[in-house]
């Protein structure tokens, strides 16, 4: 699953159930009007859906949000790998003791 897919699924769920930011105003994309629960999700959406017409500040926000998403995915992969290794050895020991 790519980062783009993750961002897209995140933005879809954000659109179904729009929440409000701390300001009390829903966050809307100024290009297409979609609503987002978090400003990071809006930044990712702008970078993916409106990449051609971003301002410098919006591009910077997209790159920051994208880097944060990459870091989150990297940590998730690491945790998933560790969990798989733990399960593997658990089953191996269980087989050697009870098998
Ligand atoms: Zn948009």
What confidence tens digit (pLDDT) does each residue in 2-33 have?
555 555 554 454 444 444 545 567 799 999 99
Per-residue tokens: 12 = 């879809």
Instruction: Considering only residues 23 and 37, tell me which one the structure prediction assigns the higher pLDDT.
Output: 37
| Ligand 1: centre distance to CA 33 (Å) | 6
CA dist., res. 5 & res. 67, Å (int): 15
Structural domain spans, the chain: 3-98
- For the residues 48-61, what does the mean pLDDT come to? 94
Least confident range from 8-12, 57-61, 70-74, 87-91: namely 8-12
pTM: 0.60
| Ligand 1: centre distance to CA 1 (Å) | 22
The chain-wide mean pLDDT, for the chain, equals 84
- For the residues 55-78, what does the mean pLDDT come to? 95
| Ligand 1: centre distance to CA 44 (Å) | 10
| Ligand 1: centre distance to CA 86 (Å) | 42
What residues are neighbours of ligand 1 (ion), with CB under 5 Å? 29, 31-32, 49
CA dist., res. 30 & res. 46, Å (int): 9
| Ligand 1: centre distance to CA 17 (Å) | 16
Q: CA neighbours within 13 Å on the CB side: how many for 91?
A: 6
């Amino acid at each position: 699953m790519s980062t783009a897919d993750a961002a897209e699924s995140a933005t879809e769920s954000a659109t179904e159930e729009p929440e409000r930011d701390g300001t009390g105003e829903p966050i809307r994309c100024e290009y297409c009007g979609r609503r987002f629960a978090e400003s990071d999700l809006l930044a990712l959406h702008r970078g993916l859906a409106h990449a051609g017409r971003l301002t410098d500040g919006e591009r910077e926000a997209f790159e920051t949000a994208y880097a944060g998403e990459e870091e989150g995915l990297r940590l998730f992969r690491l945790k998933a790998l560790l969990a798989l290794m733990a399960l593997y050895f658990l089953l191996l020991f269980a087989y050697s003791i009870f098998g």
